[in-house]
Amino acid sequence: MAESQISTSQALSMIASAINAPEDQVQPETELKDLEWWDSMGVLLLMAELDERFGIILEEETIGSFATVSDILKILVDADALLGEVT
């Protein structure tokens, strides 16, 4: 069963875990290009995590448009999976 909603801190932890990055390096303002773990494998792992936990299917074009971790959080907001808003 898909999870319903998580907090921003839980989402950041989930993203860090999915791409095998230290949690302290994954913040909303973090540029994805600056994360050494944001590679093709990291993208696939995040895609799988979002699909499994929330039923969110990401298209390649959407992922290619991500610049910051905040962009990933906004996908969760759009899917009503994130409690609160992304600043």
Q: Give tens-digit pLDDT for 61-78.
A: 899 999 999 999 999 999
4 vs 63, residue with greater confidence: 63
Supply the pLDDT for residue 1.
Answer: 47
Region 39-64: mean pLDDT is 93
Confidence (pTM): 0.90
- 82: which residues sit within 8 A by CB, 6+ positions away? 5, 6, 7, 8, 11, 73, 76
Supply the pLDDT for residue 84.
Answer: 78
CA-nearest of 36, 52, 5, 1 to 16 is: 36
Paired residues of 29 in beta bridges: none
Domains parsed from the chain with CATH numbers: 8-78 (1.10.1200.10)
Supply the pLDDT for residue 29.
Answer: 97
